């Protein structure tokens, strides 16, 4: 809710959410339900795309499955929501000039129109273009590289610039990667990472950021810290699951 205090609320503000609504938090259920409710209530004002955590396999490892069992006593809610994830778009484009995947690029996709040809209504595969859009990261090294994440690729400035030139873009905006200041430009302004989870995993101490885009596609980054603890200010101690570490 801290995000909406800073960015405003729909329908007064248009929102593009770049994925990863669940896992590694105590309130994944509430978070994803708020995002989905906003999309249903304001379908032309709110756009949501899929992240690598919008996946059956990943959510069984990093917390969302366990949270659903704990809060509902059944896996039915987890199943319904993860089934819905199969229907989320895997990228967005703003005014035909800003390309917005959750993570990055793919050696199997030279143009944005190639994405329309993908069969995306399924669980996130372990490899291939759909996987790459949800897992890849920019890198200082040129060309394509093997990702340390075990899925997707790393891609260099030459790859970013070629994709931008081919598709007539201004730059690429993505999420996926923790950055200490909430946002970070790389590849000489070709790619920007925007990370909107402050104090990630309740221990990283990072700022979060929102990118505000005006009608001329000028960007303003609004940074914020995590919300203050509820109640008297005393933190509630919890057992920390392994997936927070």
| Those residues with Cβ within 8 angstroms of residue 133's Cβ, 6 or more apart along the chain or in another chain | 90, 91, 101, 102, 103, 104, 105, 106, 109, 115
Alpha carbon 64 to chain centroid, angstroms: 16
End-to-end CA distance of the chain: give it in Å, rounded: 24
C-alpha span between 59 and 44 (Å, rounded):
28
Distance between CA atoms of 119 and 96, rounded to whole angstroms? 22
Q: Say which of 53, 102, 176, 187 is annotated catalytic.
A: 53
DSSP string, 124-163: PPSSSHHHHHHH-EE-SSSSEEE-TTSSSEEE-HHHHHHH
Is residue 176 among the annotated active site residues?
no
- Taking CA 140 as the corner, what is the angle to CA 136 and CA 141, rounded to the nearest 5 degrees? 85
Catalytic residue IDs: 53
């Amino acid at each position: 809710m801290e995000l909406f205090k800073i960015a405003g609320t729909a329908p007064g503000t248009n929102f593009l959410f770049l994925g990863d609504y669940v896992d590694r938090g105590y309130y994944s259920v509430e978070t994803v339900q708020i995002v989905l409710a906003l999309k249903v209530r304001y379908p032309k004002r709110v756009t949501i795309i899929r992240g690598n955590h919008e996946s059956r396999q990943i959510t069984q490892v990093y917390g969302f499955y366990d949270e659903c069992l704990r809060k509902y006593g059944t896996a039915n809610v987890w199943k319904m929501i993860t089934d819905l994830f199969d229907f989320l778009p895997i990228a967005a484009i703003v005014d035909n000039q800003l390309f917005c995947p959750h993570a990055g690029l793919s050696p199997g996709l030279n143009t944005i129109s190639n994405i329309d040809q993908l069969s995306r209504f399924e669980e996130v595969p372990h490899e291939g273009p759909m996987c790459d859009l949800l897992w890849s990261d920019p890198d200082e090294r040129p060309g394509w590289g093997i990702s340390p994440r075990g899925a997707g690729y790393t891609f260099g400035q030459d790859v970013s610039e070629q994709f931008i030139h081919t598709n007539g873009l201004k730059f690429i905006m993505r999420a996926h990667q923790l950055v200490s200041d909430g946002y970070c430009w790389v590849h000489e302004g070709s790619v920007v990472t925007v990370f909107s989870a402050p104090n990630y995993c309740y221990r990283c101490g990072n700022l979060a950021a929102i990118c505000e885009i005006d009608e001329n596609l000028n960007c303003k980054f609004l940074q914020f810290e995590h919300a203050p603890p509820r109640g008297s200010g005393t933190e509630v101690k919890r057992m920390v699951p392994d997936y927070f570490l």
